[in-house]
Structure 1
Amino acid sequence: MTLSVVIPAFNEQNWIGGVLESLATQADRDFDTVIVDNASTDRTAAIIADFIAAHPEMSIAVITESEKGTGAAADTGMRYAIAHGATHLARTDADCLPEPDWISSVRRAFGNGSQLIAGQMLPRPDEEIARPAAVFMLGLVEVAAWFGKLRPGNRGPQYLGPYMMTPGCNMAITAELYTRSGGFPRTRIEDVHEDRALVNAVRTVTTDYATHRDVRVRVSARRERAWGVIRTLGWYADHRYRPDIVDIR
C-alpha cells in the first residue's frame, strides 16, 4: 500500500502549520503528503516552505491549482498522487488536526476491506468553544448524517447502497475507486459539496464503503463561530443558508 495524504489549502496561514505538525507526529510515518495551494495570497506558501525545510525526513510535494474550489484543488491533488504511484489516498483539510493514530487507523480500515472510508470529526482542543456547545455541534453532525440518508437527492435506483456522510476533511479512498467513480467534481464549495458528490458517485459502482469512527480528525469551528450552529448546519445540509463570505479565515 502506497498512501498519500492530500491537503487543499487557500489562504490558510493561520492553520496550515497545525495540520503539518499533526502529520509529522503520526505513529505511522509511511506516507507521502501532497499540498495543493489553491492560489493563496497570504503567507501559506511561505509557511509550508519553512516547514519542509525543518522536516527533510517527510515526503511533501507542493503543487498549485489556480481554479478556485475545494473540489478542483482536491481533485488535482488526488490525481497528482495517483500519477506519482499512490495506490491509496487520504484527505484532510488545512484547518484540521488528525489524531496521532490517524494514518494507522486509515491503513487498518483499508485492510478491513473498505474502499471508501468516512472518519469521525471531533472539535479542536485549542479553540475557545464551550464543551456543551461542542457536544451539541457533534450531535448535529449525527443528525445531518441521518438526514442525508433521507434526502431525496441522495436516493434513487442507481445507488447500490445507502448514503454515507463522508466529510472531505476526514476521508480516504483507493486510487482505483477514485478513478473509477470519477473523483471529486472540479467545483467550488459555493456550488456543490464535493464530498457528497464523490460518495454518491461511489455508491453507483460499489458497496465497499464504511464509516470508521476510529479514524479521527479534530476540526475547526470557525464557521460555527462566524455563522452560528443552525446556519452552519443549513449550509452543509443543502446550502439553505448562503452567506456572502464562504471562505472564513
Structure 2
Amino acid sequence: MAMVSEQQLERCFELGLKSFVNEAQFFTCLLNAMVYVHAPVSDDSKNVRLIQFRHPDGFDAIPFFTSAHRSERAASRAVRTIHLPCAELLKATLGATLMVNPNDGGAVLYPEEVRVLLRTGTLDTFEKVESENGFAVRPAENLPSALVETLRMGVAQSPFIKTMFVLEKRPIDGSSAPMTLLLYLGVELKHMERGARAVISAIHNMNPRIDQIIDVAVYDAAGPKPEFINQVGAICMLSPNR
C-alpha cells in the first residue's frame, strides 16, 4: 500500500470515531502513514526517549498524533516533535502501550494489538456494549480444541488475566437465536479493557477463523466472582497458580 497522506489519515480517523465499522480501514491507513510523537527537549540519554502520560485507567501510554495540528495542540515548550512512519514507531516501541490522538477520543493500542497490526496490516473491529439481561447461561460444552488452545495460549501471555470461564448463553424468551459463547474473565482492575481486547485479538487471529459468535465480559479479579459463576458450576480454565 502506498504511503497515506496526512489528509487521508485524518479523514479515516474521523470516520473511525463515527462508527466502529470504519476502524479496520483506519488502522490500515495508520500503519502506512507518517505520525507525530513527542520527546523531551532536554535529555541526556544516548537513546531517543518518548513522552508518556498516565491514562485515567492507571497505565502509562505513549501518545502519538495523526496530524501536525493535533500534535501542536498537545505539545509544550518542554517537548520536541518527531515526525516518522507509524510502522517505525510501533516497531521501536514494541511492548509499550500507545494511544493515538488522546485528546480527541482516539484508540488505545495495547502491546498485543500492536503485534497483530504489524503482522497483519490491520486490526479487526469489535463493538463495545453494555451488559445485557435476558439470557440464561451454563458452562460451555464440546468446545473446539483449536479455540481452547488459542484461549490458553493467549491468556498465558497476559498475566493480568487471573481467571477465565467459558459459558454458553441463550435468550430466556424461547427465541430461536443461536447459542453464543461467553468468555468471562477476571482481570486486574487497571487492565480490564486490555484483558478483554487481548483475548479478542487472539480469537481474531485464529486460522482458520472459528464460525461462532463469541462475547467477552470482564470483572475485577481482586473482588469476588460474580454469583452466577458459582450458581451454574462453571470451572476456571486457568491453572490454580494464576
Q: What interval of TM-score do these two structures reach, taking the shorter chain for normalisation?
A: under 0.3
Which of the pair is proportionally richer in helix? 1
**TM-score normalised by length of structure 2:** 0.27
| Structure with greater Cα Rg | 2
